Amino acid sequence: MATVITGNGPRAVNSNDLDSLTVPFSSIPVIDFSAMYSDDADARRAVGAEVRKACTEVGFFYAKGHGVPQQVIDNTFKAAHQFFDLPLEEKVKVDISKSPNLRGYTGLLEENTNVEGLGDVHEGFDIALDLPENDPDVIAGKFGYGPNQWPENLPGFKEALLAYQSEVLDFGQKIFAAFALALELEEDFFVPLSTKPMAQMRVLSYPSQDGPIDERQIGIGPHSDYECFTVLCTDETPSLQVLNCAGEWIQAPPIPGAFIVNVGDLMARWTNGYFASTLHRAINKSGKERFSIPFFYGTNSDALIEVLPSCQNEDWPPQFEPIKTSDYIQSRFNETYAHRAAEEKS
């Protein structure tokens, strides 16, 4: 029995090896979100019911009918290839340590999502809402708000990432609406809480790990995500593994035309653990480089996350103290990134 430390406490993992079970795609449900763009209230409620089942039983689902154009997705992967092909001396010019809001390049082993690990085997480039220095929330110093860093002399890179960001920001509001329906809330419940969301978008590159692998040093170690939910787009290379309730690692292979969506820690706290923030990891043993685009979708920085009234009763009182989104996310970042952990100790 192994233990993984998360922001919502320790989590037990029965299996401690690097293999996973190959199961039918139906083991992680596929949900068609096209009805969320319609005027049919009954059809939208049906999506909410599917989301509720997925989030309480699995914590993950595939989302098709998301409305993000394939060309926008293709352009973003192309841009990611171009960035990660740059010489290291070019990439570190926009190193994440130069940004107080964690925007820019992260090198191999500079993250450690599992605090008991030895570093994650991937490179990354992060953006979020690209806000100017004169934005009121930037001036106020609210965590998570500020300008992005962008590489120079890489035509089309910024435009491709911002186009993808815009599309997924829109789709994320449909996910929030489905969550509200799943929790029997007003469909627009999350709208005023996500007008300026903490929405960290990443492009990631995973080298293939060939030969013997130390389970403490893989693509991304076992972890749960921090925000309300994650929208993940991957290339065709299988790598993602999800921990089921039996403690077994289950493969979550890519499905063409579908995103992979999972519940994050903040939504688990909001729902008193009713929605499952499921442990997952990534291991690339394909023999080739793997690329992915995770989009971590949260609320406004100053939103207060406290257990919803509908998710508590006398027999199941609140299991989590109220916390501001910014405080929770900042604490998790401080534990994950090497340069921030060093700053915290100094």
Whole-angstrom distance, CA of residue 289 vs CA of residue 237? 8
Residue 325 phi, psi (nearest 5): -55, -50
Whether the per-residue pLDDT at 2 is higher than 50: the answer is: no
pTM score, whole prediction: 0.90
- Domain-located, residue 6: no
**Of 22 and 220, which is predicted with more confidence?**
220
- Residue 66: is its pLDDT beyond 90? yes
Angle at 300 between CA 31 and CA 307, to 5 degrees: 70
Mean pLDDT within 132-138: 94
Specify if 305 maps to a domain. Answer: yes
> Domain span at residue 268?
20-345
| Residue 2 within a domain | no
Report pLDDT for 338: 52
Residue 5 lies in a domain: no
Q: Is 326 inside a domain boundary?
A: yes
pLDDT score of 295? 98
The count of structural domains within the chain is: 1
Q: Is the pLDDT of residue 345 over 50?
A: no
In percent, the amount of the chain with pLDDT more than 90 equals: 76
Q: Would 13 be classed as within a structural domain?
A: no
Q: Tell me, yes or no, whether 121 lies in a domain.
A: yes
Helix, strand, or coil here: 278?
coil
pLDDT tens-place string over residues 186-202:
999 999 999 999 999 99
Query: Does 323 reside within a domain?
Result: yes
Query: Taking the CB of residue 78, how many other CB atoms lie within 10 A of it?
Result: 14
Token pair belonging to 141: 């110093």
**pLDDT by residue (tens digit) across 271-296?**
999 998 999 999 999 999 999 999 99
Measuring CA to CA, how many Å separate 284 from each of 116, 207, 222, 239? 20, 7, 14, 5
- pLDDT, tens digit (0-9, with 9 covering 90-100), for 226-278: 999 999 999 999 999 998 877 888 899 999 999 999 999 999 999 999 998 99
- For the segment 54-73, the average pLDDT, to the nearest whole number, is 96
Query: What CATH number should be reported for the domain holding residue 256?
Result: 2.60.120.330
